Structure formats: structure tokens, C-alpha cells
A and B are shown apart, each in its own frame.
Chain A
Amino acid sequence: MPIYFSEKEVVLPGQLLSDDSRRAGEGTYVMDGKVYASTVGAATIRDGKVEVITFKGPYRPAAGDMVIGVVSDIKPIGAEVDLGGRITALLKIRNVRELTSLNLKIGDVVYAKVASSGLRGVFLELNDQFKKINEGVLLMMTPTKVPRLIGKRGSMISMLKKVTGCNIMVGTNGLVVVNGPSPAKEFAAISAIRLIEREAHSQGLTDKVLAHVSSLVGGEAKHGADGKA
């Protein structure tokens, strides 16, 4: 089964990738039994599927995603949550009492699971994973680069948490909340996230980020010592 690209090659919409329609993955489409790229991105093979990893693009909600959003409206049927300015989702409730017990206000930041996404809109689930986020710095990154921030089995994010001492919550939709013990440590974490976003396609990114964060956190320690003296 022939493949018409080299690994991590930049492909363009409409570029022929494979003759085997069963291998069509993310960022591709099938026409006349052939697989073509549907977005600009780096072509790769993952689990036998031909995929195009996009450089930038909109967030497409899928059931099971954990997202961060800002409450934009309170309605009798639930709370409307803005998932990054492009999509609003509805946090469904069973009865009004449930909503009042949550004590949600417009502008509150919440962490929730996407229950369903389809023709009727996007719905969030009110389960035990649901969380109201009360403190931290809210920032937005390109949604397509979120997997890189998390890393293989969460390697990148756990490293960041450990080195900076910050609690970092990542929404699949590209919103991130950083909550740390000091502004300097929060700054180090944010700066690392921006670095990941900028250099998402490079090799050995974890080491680079580690070095970057260590220098920042180390600098902060020295700065703190100076402050005391």
C-alpha cells in the first residue's frame, strides 16, 4: 500500500497521501478510494492511519474532551459557557436547584467534560469532574498545540508542574489556567507554554522546555535572595 509522502512532510489541502481509503485519519478525506490531505500540516502515520497534524486551526469539540470555559450566560436550562470566543456550549442541569447550588455567575471559569457535540450544539456534563476554577491565570493557546503541551502520557505537563510548582489545568479547547505559589513561578510556566506553542513541531522539546523553565525558576530564586538581602 503506497504512501505518497515522507514522514513529517508539509502537505497541502488536496495533496494525495495514500491509495488505501481505510488508512484515512485526522486531517484527511477520502475521495474515489484515495486519501487526500484536507488541511495544511505535517503528514505522519500513527497507528497505521495516515494523519495530517495541523499547524493552526479551530477547536472542534468532541465528546469526552475536558475543556475550560467562561460562563457567558445563565439560563433556566443551564449555563452557557464560552469555549474560547468561537464556540459556546451549554452546561446542562437536571433542575434549577442544581444550578443555584453551583452558585455560578457570569464570568466564572469552569472546567468540564464535553457530553456531546453535534447538530444540536455542544453540551457539557455536570459530573464529579466538573470544577469551578476560582484562582489562577487564564490564558489561551492554539488548540492544535494542546497535545504537545500535555506530551506523551502527560510527560510534558507533569514535568512543568513539578519544576514550576504550579498547578496547570489544560482544556482541549486551548484555554489553560496556571495557578502557582508566586507570580514569578506562574510567569515561568506561562513562558514555557508560549515556548511550546511556538516550537510545537521541534524534536526534543521537553529538554528545551526544561532548560528554559529551570533558568527562569533559578533566576527567581536568586532574585528572591536578593530581595531578602
Chain B
Amino acid sequence: MEQTARPKLIDENGRRLDGRGPTDLRPLRIEVSVLEKSDGSAYVELGKTKVFAAVYGPKEAHPKHLSLPDRAILNCRYHMTSFSTDERKTLGMTRREVELSKVIREALESVVFLEEFPRSAIDVFIEVVQADGGTRTAGLTAASLALADAGIPMRELIAAVAVGKVDGRIVLDLSDVEDKYGEADMPVGIAPRSNTIVLLQLNGKMTKDEFRQGLMLAQMGIQKIYQAQCEALRKKYESSMREA
């Protein structure tokens, strides 16, 4: 049987495969209002991970019996395009995508003022165009921006990033290879203003100390992403104000 050798993920100088240090993010690019037909949209690019998010609504909930009398329902769909991965992903929602849709929805529900729109529905679509690790966190980052762009009232934005354990070191923002061959992967979503954790998953093994260290590192990365989010939103709306 063919065996693939496990690649050395961190070299003697402490550099990772793509040349990053353990606490570096991949190059980050964020844009808002990228899709014309949606009420709000955002694009997040983290290295080779590329994600779009679009928000539609609030609109009337269909079917009607699903609507809630006191607040809006939030529908969330995290989906990877079939060409986003190395091996073609079959169409439709896989188990993994259904689960991620749920955790992202729950993270978003904690910041959106759903009670302002009784009996309606807000649709959030997250489409992964290219996947290289950290798609759920990039998706959540994009979705919170798209909601803000749609003018939906919310407590604050959400930024998310993954941390993990690779070759015995705690590193920030895992790539696909590091996720596959590393020891642990922990996606973290935080609402930065109140510093509340809205998403936390852990795959693999970490000691208590490593977990703490990872969480600290994630908070640091999230601050950087949050700055970029704010900058993207301000840039978009300040430019539209200047034009006027």
C-alpha cells in the first residue's frame, strides 16, 4: 500500500510550510458589499481560503408555520463549492456542512437582534469558493460582515480564527495541510467588544495549558481580523459618504 510520508510542518528555524511564524496569520483580504443582488454581502480571503457570504432579508418566513411570533428565524447555509477542494466535492450538503451551518447559525444568533423582526426570516449563505483550512472561521467572519452590511441590527461583529497544535507547537490560523497532519485543530469565534466566545470546537488532543495558550493566541489573531473587518466596513461606507 502506498504510504504518504507525513510532511515536516515546522522547520528548524520555527518557520511553517508557507514561511509563517507560529503566531502569524495568512495574508488577509476583506471586502464588503461585493454581491449586487443580495441585501448584504462580504468576501473574506485568508491565504488560499476564499469565502463569500450573502444575506437576504429580513423577509417573511416560508413556510409560514416555521416563523416565530416573537422573533426572526435565522437560516444559515455553509456550503463548499464542488471545485473548492483538491478532490471534487459532490454537490449538495454533506453531514459536515450541515453541522457547520448549525454552529455558525448559533454563533450569529448570539449577536443579531432577532426580536426586532418578529415572524420573519433572515437568510445567510456562506459559499466557500476555495478551501485551504479555516473555512468555517472565515465563513463566520464573512457572515457577520454581511449581516452588518445588510443593515440588520446586531450587538457587535464576530471575528473567528482557528488555532491548533502542529509538531508539538501551538500555532495560529492552520492551513489545510497543518490541519490534516497536525495534532489538534481548534476553531474559535469571538465577539471582540464584549470578548465573548460564540464558537469553539476542538478536534484532537491538547493539554489544559496548551488549550489556554491556544485561546490566547486565537484572541490575538481575532483582534487583527476584527481590525481588518472594521476597516473594510468603514472604507466602504466612508467612501460612499465622500462621493455624496
Instruction: State whether the Cβ of B152 lies closer than 8 Å to any Cβ in chain A.
Output: yes
Given A10-B234, A86-B57, A121-B119, A38 and B153 touching (CB < 8 A)?
yes
Q: Report which of A10, A87, A118, A144 forms a contact with B238, defined as CB distance below 8 A.
A: A10
Q: 19 A-B pairs, CB-CB below 8 angstroms?
A: A8-B241, A12-B234, A13-B156, A13-B157, A29-B113, A36-B155, A39-B148, A39-B152, A40-B233, A56-B39, A56-B150, A56-B151, A57-B151, A58-B117, A60-B116, A119-B70, A199-B244, A201-B240, A202-B244
Instruction: State whether the Cβ of A76 lies closer than 8 Å to any Cβ in chain B.
Output: no
Instruction: State whether the Cβ of B230 lies closer than 8 Å to any Cβ in chain A.
Output: yes
Given A12-B230, A12-B233, A40 and B148 touching (CB < 8 A)?
yes
Instruction: State whether the Cβ of A213 lies closer than 8 Å to any Cβ in chain B.
Output: no
Q: Is the CB of B237 within 8 A of A10?
A: yes
Q: Is the CB of B155 within 8 A of A42?
A: no
Q: Is the CB of A58 within 8 A of B58?
A: yes
Best-surrounded residue of B69, B119, B238, B244 (most CB of chain A within 10 A)? B244
Q: Is the CB of B153 within 8 A of A86?
A: no
- Nearest CB of chain A from residue B191's CB, rounded to whole Å: 8
Q: Report which of A10, A36, A39, A121 forms a contact with B151, defined as CB distance below 8 A.
A: A39
- Nearest CB of chain B from residue A204's CB, rounded to whole Å: 11
Interface size of B as a range: 35 or more
Q: Is the CB of B155 within 8 A of A29?
A: yes
Interface bits B106-126 vs A (CB < 8 Å: 1, else 0): 000001010011111000000
Chain A residues with a Cβ under 8 A of chain B: 8, 10, 12-15, 27, 29, 31, 36, 38-42, 54-58, 60, 85-88, 118-121, 144, 198-202
Residues on B with C-beta less than 8 A from A198 are 244
Residue of A with least CB distance to B229: A12
Instruction: State whether the Cβ of B149 lies closer than 8 Å to any Cβ in chain A.
Output: yes
Kindly identify, within residues 171 to 192 of chain B, every residue whose CB is under 8 Å from any CB belonging to chain A.
191-192
Residues on A with C-beta less than 8 A from B150 are 56-58
Given A58-B57, A198-B244, A12 and B238 touching (CB < 8 A)?
no
Provide the bound-state CA to CA distance between A202 and B239, in Å: 12
Provide the bound-state CA to CA distance between A181 and B60, in Å: 37
Residue of A with least CB distance to B235: A10
Q: Is the CB of A29 within 8 A of B153?
A: yes
Interface bits B216-244 vs A (CB < 8 Å: 1, else 0): 00000000000000100110011011011
Q: Report which of B58, B230, B233 forms a contact with A86, defined as CB distance below 8 A.
A: B58
Give 15 new A-B contacts, CB below 8 A, not counting A13-B111, A38-B113, A57-B151.
Answer: A12-B148, A13-B156, A14-B156, A36-B193, A39-B153, A40-B151, A56-B39, A57-B152, A60-B116, A85-B59, A118-B118, A120-B69, A121-B119, A144-B151, A202-B241
Instruction: State whether the Cβ of B197 lies closer than 8 Å to any Cβ in chain A.
Output: no
Residues on A with C-beta less than 8 A from B117 are 58, 60
Provide the bound-state CA to CA distance between A27 and B57, in Å: 18
Residues on A with C-beta less than 8 A from B194 are 14
Provide the bound-state CA to CA distance between A161 and B154, in Å: 38
Q: Is the CB of A40 within 8 A of B237?
A: yes
Q: Is the CB of B151 within 8 A of A119?
A: no
Residue of B with least CB distance to A117: B118
- Nearest CB of chain A from residue B78's CB, rounded to whole Å: 22
Q: Is the CB of A42 within 8 A of B241?
A: yes
Residues on B with C-beta less than 8 A from A15 are 193
Residues on B with C-beta less than 8 A from A202 are 241, 244
Residues on A with C-beta less than 8 A from B238 are 10
Residues on B with C-beta less than 8 A from A40 are 148-149, 151, 233, 237
Q: Report which of A38, A85, A118 forms a contact with B155, defined as CB distance below 8 A.
A: A38
Residues on B with C-beta less than 8 A from A10 are 233-234, 237-238, 241
Residues on A with C-beta less than 8 A from B153 are 13, 27, 29, 38-39
Residues on B with C-beta less than 8 A from A200 are 244
Provide the bound-state CA to CA distance between A43 and B155, in Å: 16
Residue of B with least CB distance to A195: B244
Residue of A with least CB distance to B33: A56
Provide the bound-state CA to CA distance between A198 and B193, in Å: 32
